[in-house]
Amino acid sequence: MSIIPKNEAIRKAVKWISDQRRENPDLSLTQLINQVTLRFDLNPNDSQFLVNFYKEHKDAAPED
């Protein structure tokens, strides 16, 4: 069990994904969400939240 509060884990996950998208633009969002789910011990609902978040916020793409 993780000791990080879930809202903090989601925040860290979004930051990690954003950093990875900037550094590795060729990685798919699906790959990144799968990786971050394991890295931050997220549950399926958290993973689905991230999928929905990035679908709704397509402008959250990395800046060039």
Full-model pTM: 0.77
**Residue 42: how many CB atoms within 10 A of its CB?**
21
Which pLDDT band holds residue 15 (cuts at 50, 70, 90)? very high
**Tokens for 43?**
């549950």
Which amino acid would we find at residue 21? R
Average pLDDT score over residue span 5-15: 87
Decide if 16 contacts 31 (C-beta within 8 A).
no
Which amino acid would we find at residue 48? Q
pLDDT value for 3? 55
DSSP for residue 26? T
Decide if 33 contacts 19 (C-beta within 8 A).
no
